[in-house]
Amino acid sequence: MVNFQLTDEQKDMQELFRKFAQEQIAPIAEEMDEKEEMNMDMVKKMMELGFFGVPFSEEVGGTGMDYLTYCLLMEEVAKVCGSTSITISVHTSLCASIIEQYATPEQKEKWLRPLVDGSKIGCFGLTEPNAGSDVAGAVTTAEKDGDYYVINGSKIFTTNSGFADTFLVFALTDKSLPAHKGMSAFMVDRNTP
């Protein structure tokens, strides 16, 4: 028989997440919504507590917690502020998780570790003005230029882009293939020219 009860550690983390959400996020949630901006002091506190490192392994700089604990984090934060939960979700599920799954060990060290150890925030750039999130209609391209790629195009609705350090950007690299096969993901530092 499967035991669906939370472990003591999961209960402790849920309580930590709940307390932080109620004490640190709830009092400023309405103000953040009215201003349409994230409170970076609060984000820094979450980073320091390891919220952006759940559910990544300690080996790559994360907390070593499981996905159920990540769900508990998302649930407690979303109860008081949907925007803040989306910030964590985009960073974790759409940026860092993709790097964890597909990057080389060297890329993980350079790009993933800072995302999960709380020193950088990530975002995910797929949606385009005339295509939405339909990859088949994407027009952003990336062309090789020596040792680098030059990315040309526009992205919209890129959650966290106003304050992210690392951008996971999708661009067509082989137009002879269907878009879903000719597209690549690029990790781009905010300060890249």
What fold characterizes domain 122-189?
Butyryl-CoA Dehydrogenase, subunit A; domain 2 (2.40.110)
> Hey, what amino acid is at 20?
F
Task: End-to-end CA distance of the chain: give it in Å, rounded.
Answer: 56
Interval 4-48: pLDDT, tens: 899 999 999 999 999 999 999 999 999 999 999 999 999 999 999
Distance CA 18, CA 79 (A): 9
For the entire predicted model, the pTM comes to 0.90
Dihedral over Cα of 97, 102, 104, 110: its sign: negative
Interval 137-162: pLDDT, tens: 899 999 999 999 999 999 999 999 99
- Highest CATH level, class, for 8-116: mainly alpha
Q: Kindly list the domain boundaries of the chain, sorted by start residue.
A: 8-116, 122-189
Interval 156-188: pLDDT, tens: 999 999 999 999 999 999 989 988 899 999 999
Distance CA 145, CA 6 (A): 52
Q: Where do we find the tokens 């990315």?
A: 151
